[in-house]
Amino acid sequence: MFKIPESVLVVVHTPQQHVLLLERAGQPGFWQGVTGSRDTPDEPFIHTAMREVWEETGIRQDAGRFCDWAISNTYEIYPGWRARYASHVTHNTEHVFSLCVQPDTAVVLSPREHSAFRWLPWLRAADQCFSPSNAEAILMLPRFISHCTP
């Protein structure tokens, strides 16, 4: 089964604007936020965001805790990852959310997906991201934090 070329990016952060970054398993130095594709074409993006945060970090939150930034990015899928998609698919559309959590929130990684995590101040986190869309979203965090903090 091929991946659906529609995904979410969730900027998980604290009220102090520290951002959670995850290092991809098998790809040392590839730091990113929580990302993942829809399971079905009709899965609501908020459900995708909730599921991906749970699967990748062990953090379970209600839909009302997530903030939909109403921003989407369309980008070319890296050639090395295109085999996961149908042969005609070259681009993915990513929908951006954030989730504010307390600094002492426990993180439990999915070892098949990530090998390490770190909390960094938002500017340092943006500098550490491999993905340009991840970095750009983190740089927008100060604009959204007042609207999205519980």
Domain ranges of the chain: 6-148
Query: Percent of the chain having pLDDT more than 90?
Result: 79
Quote the CA–CA distance of 127 and 150 in Å, as a whole number: 26
Residue of 6, 85, 18, 90 whose CA lies nearest to 45: 6
Give phi and psi for 72, each to the nearest 5: -135, 150
Query: Percent of the chain having pLDDT more than 70?
Result: 97
In the predicted model, what is the mean pLDDT of residues 115-137?
Answer: 96
Torsion angle of alpha carbons 55, 119, 128, 110, nearest 10°? -20
> pLDDT grade, residue 26 (50/70/90)?
confident
Tokens of 149: 């903090």
How are beta strands 114-121 and 18-24 bridged, if at all?
A: antiparallel
Would you say residue 149 has pLDDT above 90?
A: no
Residue of 19, 24, 18, 27 whose CA lies nearest to 36: 24
CB 109 within 8 A of CB 22: yes
Q: What is the pTM of this model?
A: 0.93
Tokens of 75: 């980008």
Give phi and psi for 33, each to the nearest 5: -85, -170
Classify domain 6-148 at the CATH topology level. Answer: Nucleoside Triphosphate Pyrophosphohydrolase (3.90.79)
